[in-house]
Homo-oligomer: A and B are copies of this chain.
Amino acid sequence: MARTKEFNEDQALDKAIEIFWHKGYNGTSAQDLVTHLGLSRSSLYDTFGDKQKLFAQSLQRYQKNAQNQIIDLLEQSDNIKETLKEIFKQAVIESLEDRITKGCFMVNSSVELAMHDEEIAKIVKNNSQIMEDVFTKAVQKGQDAGHISKVNSATVLARFIFNTYSGIRVLARTGEKDKQVYDDIIKAMFSIL
């Protein structure tokens, strides 16, 4: 009946994530997308609708990936505190390596768009909710195992951890390359876990 797509839709989405992440929504033009995704304007619009829809799909895909990564690590962990240390260590490595300083796509998007675009706001809130739940369960597990202090409740610590994570991602976006700054923040954070 018809010819098959010459490009992989998910691969195109990954390219879209890259450029939106780097330049933001308003900073990325249709031409940028055409050039970076390597497909024609018509294919782009036929496949993804419009710029806003493409952005939303990109952010969704990013969220699922990032989320699953953390969920897997925490669920398979038998020492939550150590796993959290690994997660933050990884965030620092990414921040320092990041030659084009992208920060976190979710944080960037919420700052730029959450208040102007309801669909993006929903994605962001959904992400926050899921992350809070995941961290809460993980902290609870850590507290039960005696690896994490019970001075503060699991919910309090979960929200606190997620907030520190956001802050670090903003710091990365500003281009901070001094590892000591990240390490200090993380050291302080872990002193209450």
Residues on A close to B: CB < 8 A? Answer: 23-24, 26-27, 100-101, 103, 107-108, 110-112, 114-116, 121, 124-125, 128, 151-152, 155-157, 159-160, 163-168, 170-171, 173-176, 181, 184-185, 187-189, 191-192
Q: Among the listed B24, B155, B171, B181, which residue makes an inter-chain contact with A26, where contact means beta carbons less than 8 Å apart?
A: B24
Residue of B nearest to A173 (CB): B111
Alpha-carbon distance A111/B173, docked complex (angstroms)? 6
Contact in complex: A174, B112 (CB < 8 Å): no
Whether A115 touches B128, Cβ cut-off 8 Å, given contacts A27-B26, A156-B184, is no
- Chain B residues contacting A160 (CB-CB under 8 Å) are 184-185, 188-189
- Chain B residues contacting A159 (CB-CB under 8 Å) are 181, 184-185, 188
Q: Among the listed B112, B128, B156, B184, which residue makes an inter-chain contact with A188, where contact means beta carbons less than 8 Å apart?
A: B156
- Chain B residues contacting A23 (CB-CB under 8 Å) are 116
- Chain B residues contacting A103 (CB-CB under 8 Å) are 111
Q: Among the listed B111, B121, B192, which residue makes an inter-chain contact with A191, where contact means beta carbons less than 8 Å apart?
A: B192
